[in-house]
Amino acid sequence: MIAEPICRTIVPFFLAAAYALAQPAIPETPAGHTLQAWLDAFNSGDAAKIEAYVKTIDSSQSVDGMISFRRQTGGFDLLSIESSEPLHIRFRVKEKAGPTTALGSLLVKDGNPPSVQTFGLRALPPGVVPVNITLDAALRKRVIEGVNADVNEYYVDSGLAMQMAHAPKNPRKTGTVSSVPRKG
């Protein structure tokens, strides 16, 4: 008789503890704090919490849009932190209401609280596992040279092709690039 009430008390405690241990740790960085704030507001489904998040951290979001998206997904469980820097974090989440996983990227401007500069969440096709690839200087150079060769070969406007070929070498000197149709 005593064992049953004890089991009803202890088993949920251990399940909750196991669930908490399974959640990846969110870094103690401005980007990590912002990710936690987004997850807390979004997963709550509470309009007031979502509105406070939008007003203080990410004014580019709409409260109605976030609530609608929350209804579709049921919220998100954090699966992993893919990479983390003080102002940028990449992460993977899974819908609570379905099987979809997504890869997220959050870039923040430092402040108190930090504010969102860019936020993206992309659904991953079933079975896909993202892999972090680190480009060393030699591989980066080969990739850029390959892109430059394709741009020079396929863009009609040679002046525009030259601008685009030089853009990766001069990332702070970017301008507006218009769309140009490709050759046949």
pLDDT (0 to 100) of residue 165 = 75
Burial environment of residue 86 by CB neighbours within 10 A (0 to 12, 13 to 18, 19 or more): middle
pLDDT (0 to 100) of residue 181 = 47
Distance CA 103, CA 79 (A): 10
Taking the C-alpha atoms of 47, 48, 53 and 55 in order, what is their torsion angle to the nearest 10 degrees?
110
Residue type, 182: R
pLDDT (0 to 100) of residue 183 = 47
User: Low-confidence residues of the chain, pLDDT below 70?
Assistant: 1-22, 130, 132, 168-184
Burial environment of residue 94 by CB neighbours within 10 A (0 to 12, 13 to 18, 19 or more): middle
pLDDT (0 to 100) of residue 2 = 56
- Spans of all domains in the chain: 3-124, 133-184
Nearest partner of 130 among 101, 100, 106, judged by Cα: 101
Cα Dmax for the chain? 85
pLDDT (0 to 100) of residue 60 = 94
Please check whether the domain covering 3-124 is classified as CATH 1.10.3450.
no
Would strands 88-95 and 76-84 be described as parallel, antiparallel, or unpaired? antiparallel
Distance CA 121, CA 79 (A): 14
pLDDT (0 to 100) of residue 146 = 86
pLDDT (0 to 100) of residue 178 = 44
